[in-house]
Copies of this chain bind each other. A is one copy, B any other.
Amino acid sequence: MSDDDQELGITESKSHNTGEWYAEVVQKAGLADYGPEGMSGFIVTRPRAYAVWERLQGFLDAKFKDTGVQNAYFPLFIPESYLEREKDIVEGFDPEVAWVTEAGNKELEERLAVRPTSESIITPYISQWVRSHRDLPLRVNQWCSVVRWEATETKPFFRTKEFLWQEGHTAHATSEDAWEETMTRLDQYESVYEDLLAMPVLKGQKPDHDKFPGADTTATVEALMPDGKSVQAGTSHHLGQSFAEAFDITYSDEDEEERLAHTTSWGLSWRALGALIMTHSDEQGLVLPPGVAPEQVAVVPIWQEDTKDEVLEYARGVADDLDDAGIRVELDDRDGRNPGFKFNEHELNGVPLRIEIGPHEVEDGELTLVHRPDGESVVEGRDGVVETVCDHFDEVYAKLYAAAEETLDGEVREADDRADILGTLGQHGGYVKAPWCGDEECEEPIKEPMAAEIVMVPFEDDDPLVETDHDETCAICDDDAERTAYFAKSY
Contact = CB atoms under 8 A, between A and B. Distances in A.
Interface of A: 33, 35-39, 42-47, 50-51, 53-54, 70-77, 79, 81-82, 94-105, 109-112, 114, 121, 124-125, 128, 140, 144-145, 147, 149-151, 162, 164
B103 A44 contact: no
A437 to B, nearest CB: 35
B97 A71 contact: no
A51 B73 contact: no
A71 B96 contact: no
A272 to B, nearest CB: 15
15 contacts: A33-B128, A35-B75, A36-B121, A36-B124, A38-B81, A38-B109, A39-B75, A43-B75, A44-B73, A45-B74, A73-B164, A96-B104, A98-B104, A100-B101, A103-B149
A463 to B, nearest CB: 31
A46 B141 CA distance: 10
A110 B36 CA distance: 12
Contacts of A77: 39, 42, 98, 162
Contacts of A54: 71
Contacts of A45: 72-74
A101 B99 contact: yes
Contact of A104 (B43, B71, B151, B164): B151
A70 B98 CA distance: 30
A103 B98 CA distance: 4
Given A38-B79, A51-B70, A99 B102 contact: yes
A112 B39 contact: yes
A145 B39 CA distance: 19
A52 to B, nearest CB: 11
A96 B44 CA distance: 24
A95 B104 CA distance: 5
Nearest to A110: B38
Nearest to A101: B101
Nearest to A30: B129
A114 B47 CA distance: 22
Given A38-B110, A50-B71, A151-B104, A145 B44 contact: no
Given A50-B71, A73-B164, 6 more contacts: A36-B75, A39-B112, A76-B147, A76-B162, A99-B100, A102-B111
Given A33-B125, A100-B98, A103-B98, A46 B71 contact: no
Nearest to A162: B76
Nearest to A95: B105
A167 to B, nearest CB: 14
A327 to B, nearest CB: 15
B71 A44 contact: no
Contacts of A73: 44-45, 50, 53, 145, 164
Contacts of A100: 98-101, 114
Contact of A47 (B44, B71, B82, B104): B71
